[in-house]
Amino acid sequence: MHQSVLSKGNTGNIINHNAFYSSVFIQGAGTPGLGDLSKLDEGAPGPSQLRTGDGSASLPKPPSVGVSSQCMKGERIRNQQTGEFHFLTFSCFRRRAYLSSGTAMELFEDALERVRLRYLFAVAGYVVMPEHVHLLVNEPGRGLLSRTVQALKLSVSMRRRERPFWQAHYYDFNISTHEKFVEKLRYIHRNPVRRGLVEKPEDWKWSSFRH
């Protein structure tokens, strides 16, 4: 039976879901608390616990900083250091199904755990699809989120033969409300069902639904 590497490891790296969000959302200026997170998704046990690399909950971050990068379509603005969660999406090069095998998906999970421990962030939800990935994460305790994503993508591509492995850039959506957090978490877990890959979210091995 498949067991994600994200469900393994030292229990000192696990933090309580409600306590964590009380820190991030309730104390954050102008942002509501999440309430009972055990009811985020019908029948979904996960994530009932969130982890950071050092086992501690993140504290609210300073005011947001606009981090910009250049792309062919113009200037890309990313709002980081906001104390908010981020819904991230990035795809394989030209959306080719480089992640279609169980081995490739488990390699991504391994890379995610390695980078999580290194940069100290919590993974609230994730799903690995054949040609793209969705993540719901908080901001890292070390460095900017953009550098964390870069390290994650590099950790995967260095251990695969496909070149290039990833499409350049990634989609980043800031989560500032409870409702939007629930919406994105459900979207992540139900992505394999919408694609017709499985009948129920819990049937897809490579997501956070069963954690």
pLDDT at 20: 41
**For residue 178, what are its two tokens?**
């409870």
On whether residue 183 sits in a domain, the answer given is yes
16 occurs within a structural domain: yes
- The pLDDT score that the predictor gives to residue 9 is 40
- Examine residue 211 and state whether it is found in any structural domain, yes or no: no
Low pLDDT (below 70) residues in the chain: 1-78
- Domain annotation covers residue 3: no
Compute φ and ψ for 66, nearest 5 degrees: -75, 115
pLDDT given for residue 136 in this prediction? 98
Asked if the structure places residue 122 within a domain, the reply is yes
Strands (E), 100-183: 123-128, 132-137, 171-175
Q: Is residue 6 part of a domain?
A: no
Q: Which pairs count as long-range contacts for 35-44, CB under 8 Å and 24+ apart, including other chains? A: 35/178, 40/181, 40/182, 40/185, 40/186, 41/182, 41/185, 41/186, 41/189, 41/201, 41/209, 43/202, 44/189, 44/201, 44/202, 44/209
Give residue 133's pLDDT: 98
* pTM, 2 dp: 0.70
The domain spanning residue 136 has which CATH number?
3.30.70.1290
Q: Which two tokens stand for residue 56?
A: 């501690």
Tell me the C-alpha distance between 70 and 77, whole Å.
9
- Answer whether residue 97 is part of any domain: yes
Instruction: Reduce the DSSP state of residue 200 to 3 states and report it.
Output: coil
- Cβ within 8 Å of residue 205, ≥6 positions away: 2, 4, 102, 105
Q: By residue range, what is the domain housing residue 110?
A: 11-203
Tell me, yes or no, whether 5 lies in a domain: no
Q: What's the total number of domains in the chain?
A: 1
Q: What is the largest CA-CA distance in the chain?
A: 46
pLDDT at 2: 47
pLDDT for position 75: 55
Q: Give yes or no for a contact between 164 and 95, defined as CB atoms under 8 angstroms apart.
A: no
